[in-house]
Amino acid sequence: MATMLTERFERALVFATQRHSDQRRKGGDVPYVAHLLSVCGLVLDAGGDEDAAIGALLHDTVEDQKATLDEIRWLFGEQVASIVDQCSDTDEDPKPPWRARKETFVARVPLMTEAARLVTCADKLHNIRCILADYRVVGHGVWDKFTGGRDGSLWYYRAVLDALGSGPLWATLEAAVCDLEIAARDGS
């Protein structure tokens, strides 16, 4: 059965667009909302319901835009707030050190709900696709924009993949992680 999107999805789309209006993707001029729309599309293509789609649109609002879980819960419901909470690596300001934050996130992945695992998988898949596209333009310089650098980023994507273990997009994410590892090794 096809997922029906209601006015609640429309409100979430406006909310995400407004919250991320001044944000751009790392090292470029692409509006950040492009990432949110891509993740949402992957979630819907994989059979996610409206809550998962909204969670995909909002997955970075707590982490990057200082929205609160209470605000998301009030506007979009408990299920969406839970997805966003599970997909956020921190709501602390300032953020803890990168590696510790990512290790904590990876440890939580096996405990996530199916919807949060789907959003996480779609998020990482889109990120890797963007990194691979950047590789074609700038080569190994792509790692300069990432706090974890080459080695940390490769570790993180492989660790998330392993922690997910399965799911609707898992095989596609696995192929993307392998492609990223090959590109990083070969410089292609």
- Expressed as residue numbers, the domain containing 130 is 7-186
- Mapped onto helix, strand or coil, the DSSP state of residue 135 is helix
CA distances from 131 to 71, 115, 146, 165, 183 (A): 32, 24, 10, 22, 10
- The pLDDT of residue 188 is 47
Q: What is the CA radius of gyration of the chain?
A: 16
The answer to whether 33 touches 16, Cβ cutoff 8 Å, is: yes
Active-site residues, by number, are 63-64
Q: Residue 1 domain-assigned?
A: no
pLDDT in tens, 7-37: 999 999 999 999 988 878 876 788 999 999 9
Confidence of residue 176 (pLDDT cuts 50, 70, 90): very high
Q: Residue 2 domain-assigned?
A: no
DSSP label at residue 60: T
pLDDT in tens, 57-107: 999 998 877 778 999 999 999 999 999 999 998 888 788 999 999 999 999
The answer to whether 55 touches 87, Cβ cutoff 8 Å, is: yes
Q: Residue 55 domain-assigned?
A: yes
CATH number of domain containing 14: 1.10.3210.10
